[in-house]
Each structure stands twice: as structure tokens, then as C-alpha cells.
A and B are shown apart, each in its own frame.
Chain A
């Protein structure tokens, strides 16, 4: 009785596609024509969907002491100058505070996902122990 009918299932899929449609198409266009500068060292400086993504790889040492103990060795990811809190999973995938429950293959895909999720909004000031915007 609570079975999903084929029609309902298709409706859901169509709805999901519709919701993804605009953002997805924009994402694709922006990804293909954004001027990404990825150097061999892993530094990224690109404009994606109108937002500036800058990624500075881990320097091997600390990078400002943002993360406290145990977190060094992470790249610094910035969107329009604001730092995005990122984390590396044990399997090598990445998550951020904006996309916390979904993993991404590398910091750049993670940063682009954050840009899409932000829909133009500004990141709140970086505060590792939470806090209000």
C-alpha cells in the first residue's frame, strides 16, 4: 500500500532532475570555460560560477594554526577570500563544512561543490569551534 508506483518514482526522478537541471547545466558550463590555473604543486586559482577559488596546498608545516593539533597538512581553500573548512577522510576523499555528509575526490571538486551550494552567498568567518555568522 505504501509502494511507490512507477509513476511516482518517475515523478521523483524527474523532479530531482528538474531541480538539478539549472544548477547542473550552469556548473558544467562554468567548469568547462572557467580559467583554472592548476600548477603542478596543487595550487589552484580559478573563477568558477563567478566565485574565486584559491587553493594553497599544505606547506608541510602549519598554516596559521587555524586547525590546532592533528590537522596540519591540509590545504587552505578560499572562496572569494573566505576560508572554507575542509577535512580529509581516511580513504583520501574530502568533505567541507558546506558539504559535510558527501565526499569528493579532491579539494577542487570540493570547493566547486561549495560554490554551487552557496548560490552566491558569502562564507561565514572561519571558526573551527562553531559560532555565529
Chain B
């Protein structure tokens, strides 16, 4: 079974396997398909119209499905790879090993934000940014420049304590767990992390930065933690809601998967913090 581990605990070999698989998907063009899909949803998901990937209840199941598909592509390249997650409440500075040259590389240089080290630096020649909102073909970051602090554990705990999954108007103005986790309301969790990283991560083409997958793997884990804390709470809305995906509605672009299909992550993978993971690891 796939075990998603905290990125901070990966061995050098595991880090290399992950970054090599990402580079291979970039080389074959598979990687860029994911970026294109994501940007399409970013631009079409609106508060007053149809919305699937963002600012709506299906933000969490949509990204879970999106990550599963990406992880499956990684595993076609290297079956040993699983998506790592980045716990930004713990690894919260640009000095974290996440940003070292043997993993994702660090922040961009002052002049133009260009990432200069690690496997995804433009100068390394294997990771051009092809799907973009402007002319720049190099990976950019400005860690901590637009917003100084990543969300804290206390801020996450306060959001995990919210008992109701989501509520009307089922968009960026909603109260409830989903929107506080997505970050349009309250302390701002998920959105703020995109802004903290900066560069492509702050744009509609955010999956251009491989940290996108680790950020969303952690958001996904927080959803699982919320479910464990609130066994009586469920995905909402249940049925008959305009413009958003109900529990048993199908999600674009797949059209054959529903939020209900995505509720139990244990069908697909375990987190390294769960007993199931310990059991499956020798």
C-alpha cells in the first residue's frame, strides 16, 4: 500500500526517487497536463457560477482525486514513490531541509525570483515552466516575502475543531471547516501557504512548483484528521444544490468520480502517522 510520509523524514534515496520521477513526468509532458488542468479550473471556478476545484465544497475531494492521479503517474515511473506531505506548521522557514539543493531547491534570487539550485532550477535544464501566465520559463519562488509567517499549529487546530464541513452559500464566503481550511475566511490556511511560497505557487499555474503536491498532500491529511475528530460530521451538501457538487454528484473533469468516492483515503493510501502504515511497513 502507498504510504505518504512527512517530507522531513524522507531518506536521501527517497528524495531522489521523488524528484527523479517528477523530472521524468516533466520530460514526457505528463506533468504539464496537470498544470493545464489546474489552471483551467482555477479560472472557471467562480463564486456565482459552477465551481468544482476551488471555493466550493468539493475543493477537498477534487484535490484528493487530482493528487491520486498525479501519484499514479509518479508510480508508473517508479513504483516506490509516494507523495510526501509538507507539514508547514512544523517546517516553517526557508532553512527547512525541504528547500535544500538535494530536494526542491531554495528560494529565488532577488533580481528575478529565479530558483538557482536543486533539480528544478531552470539552469539545470530539466524543468522548464511551459504552462504559464506570463513569459517567464523559469521556476520562481520568494519564500516568506509576500506573507511572513506560515499558518501555525494553533491556527490549524482551531479550524480542525469546526464541526460543520461546509455551508451555504457554498463558496468563498462560507463559514465552516472547508472554507477556513481553503483560506478565504479566518486565519487563512491553504491560500496563505501558496502566497508564502510565492512565484508560480501564487498563481493559477501553481502546480508548476513541485511543492504544490506536498502542500496539497498536507491539506489532504488535515481533511482526514478532521474526519477522525468529527465522526458524526459528513460532507455537505447532500443533494439538490445549484452550481456545486453534492455528495453523490460527479466531479469534472473526470465525470466518473463523486465526493462520496473520495471520503475514505484509506482505500488509496495511508499516512505515516497512522497504524495502518506502520503495519504495512515491514
Contacts and interface: CB of A to CB of B under 8 A. Distances in A.
Interface of A: 2, 4, 8, 12-13, 15-16, 19-20, 22, 68-71, 85, 87-91, 97-103, 117-119, 121-124, 128-133
B19 interface: no
7 contacts: A16-B148, A70-B49, A85-B43, A101-B202, A121-B136, A123-B134, A133-B130
Interface in B126-157: 130-136, 142, 144-149
Q: Is the interface of A mostly helix, strand, loop or mixed?
A: loop
Nearest to B169: A90
Contacts of A102: 146-147, 191, 195, 202
A8 B37 CA distance: 39
B228 interface: no
A70 B171 CA distance: 15
Interface string B200-235: 001110100000000000000000000000000000
B92 A123 contact: no
Given A85-B43, A121-B135, A132-B132, A97 B204 contact: yes
Contact of A128 (B43, B146, B191, B195): B43
Interface in B46-95: 46-50, 55, 90, 92-95
Interface string B3-47: 000000000000000000000000000001001111110111011
Contacts, number: 123
B195 A101 contact: yes
Contact of B42 (A4, A8, A100, A117): A100
Task: Say whether chain B's binding surface is mostly helix, strand, loop, or mixed.
Answer: loop
B175 interface: no
Nearest to A2: B90
B194 interface: yes
B110 interface: yes
Q: Which 3 A-B pairs have the closest CB atoms?
A: A70-B49, A90-B173, A130-B40
A99 B202 contact: yes
Contacts of B163: none
A90 B136 CA distance: 31
A32 B90 CA distance: 40
B177 interface: no
A31 B136 CA distance: 25
Contact of A119 (B113, B145, B147): B113
A70 B134 contact: no
Given A100-B202, A101-B191, A124-B133, A19 B145 contact: yes
Contacts of B105: none
- Max chain B C-beta neighbours (<10 A), residue from A12, A13, A68, A131: A12
B216 to A, nearest CB: 13
B112 to A, nearest CB: 6
A69 B92 CA distance: 41
Contacts of A121: 134-136
Given A16-B148, A19-B110, A89-B173, 9 more contacts: A4-B92, A13-B148, A68-B44, A71-B49, A89-B184, A100-B202, A100-B203, A100-B204, A131-B131
Nearest to A69: B49
A130 B203 contact: no
Contact of A131 (B36, B95, B147, B172): B36
Given A71-B46, A130-B40, A91 B173 contact: yes
A35 B38 CA distance: 37
